[in-house]
Structure 1
């Protein structure tokens, strides 16, 4: 398996991959919504800089992770932060470590690009394996309210040691992602 940056020629495959991954795990409708979200994020200038990474196995795209820019309201604009949204692995290739590999390679690329913080709204039993911790208790407010029972799903990881605790604020995402329907767990 090879992990690499996605190219614009992969965009249609990525949309289809997310439709399959989220459609099987949740519902066909959810798969379509996430597929459209990916398509829109890849075209959204407010999401740049973005890091779009794919997992390729025998010339087939079997996984994808997308990191897009976020701002922290009230914090100097020199803080480089991204959000991981979404991550998908084709249903036939899940539970084989592909998602984790995409996350780790993606985080390495973000470190190289001098990104300081990475956020995610995701499963609190999965993302902590890769260094994510609850963001709310660190002073980072999600773009839209997260119900108390799902607060641990809003997470952050510092890529520059010691930055958490020196800043806090409300996160502002790319226009495509900054809608309440994307913030329901």
Structure 2
């Protein structure tokens, strides 16, 4: 079934009685977004991730950022955040973002909501001239959205990633021909550029 796009809102019919909308988040969504991350990541990691998201929203060095929410039956069920990164010592100038974090409520996980959030985010970033998007995440999940291991392609994470987790550091190309020409050390925003956020 083809998605319908009206006024920059992605609308997908999941079933006859259920509609999923993906839209840019608003300031009034922040409390619900915080709850989603706390719920999705559990008691141990949830508060830490929620604090990270709130910090990124207020971090000027993270801008321009892209924040999207998935809404089903007037309830926010998922959130994804993309923030600005620089690639130091790259041979060519690159516009890049990092996907961090992505959260979907447990009751709608494995229904494609996360993938739709990622796709809409990548589509919007591409239209705005972004060349690359990076992510530190599950190596079995993000390749479904086109991500491939970044380290062996010349993109170093802000902090060293153990070899056994090297596959979790990934990149996807939005502008053809950038991978192979660009490379260097990824520099995140002030809030994200902390070692505790780089332990996969």
- For the aligned pair, the TM-score class normalised by the smaller chain equals over 0.9
Alignment of 1:141-156 (within 5 A): 141-156=156-171
**In the aligned structure 1, how far is the partner of 2:137 from the partner of 2:172?**
13
**Structure 1 runs not aligned, ≥5 long:** none
- Alignment match, 1:115: 130
- Give the SS at the match of 2:81: strand
Is 1:59 matched up with 2:74?
A: yes
**In the aligned structure 2, how far is the partner of 1:15 from the partner of 1:149?**
31
**Structure 2 runs not aligned, ≥5 long:** 1-19
- Alignment match, 1:81: 96
Tell me how many residue pairs correspond in the alignment.
Answer: 181
For residue 12 of structure 1, report the CA deviation from its aligned partner. Answer: 1.1
2:119 to 78, 94, 104: 104
Considering fraction of residues, name the structure with more strand. Answer: 2
- Alignment match, 1:4: 23
For residue 8 of structure 1, report the CA deviation from its aligned partner. Answer: 0.8
**In the aligned structure 1, how far is the partner of 2:105 from the partner of 2:155?**
31
- Alignment match, 1:39: 54
- Give the SS at the match of 1:152: helix
- Contact 1:21–1:89 under 8 Å retained in 2: yes
- TM-score, with normalisation over the residues of structure 2? 0.89
- Alignment match, 2:3: none
Is 1:18 matched up with 2:37?
A: yes
- Give the SS at the match of 2:98: strand
For residue 76 of structure 1, report the CA deviation from its aligned partner. Answer: 7.1
For residue 53 of structure 1, report the CA deviation from its aligned partner. Answer: 0.4
1:70 to 71, 85, 105: 85
Q: Deviations over 1:59-88 (max 9, x none)?
A: 100000000000001137842100000000
For residue 29 of structure 1, report the CA deviation from its aligned partner. Answer: 2.6
**In the aligned structure 2, how far is the partner of 1:153 from the partner of 1:46?**
24
- Give the SS at the match of 1:119: strand
**In the aligned structure 2, how far is the partner of 1:70 from the partner of 1:15?**
23
Could you say which structure has the larger radius of gyration? 2
Instruction: Give structure 1 regions of 4+ aligned residues with deviation exceeding 6 angstroms.
Output: none
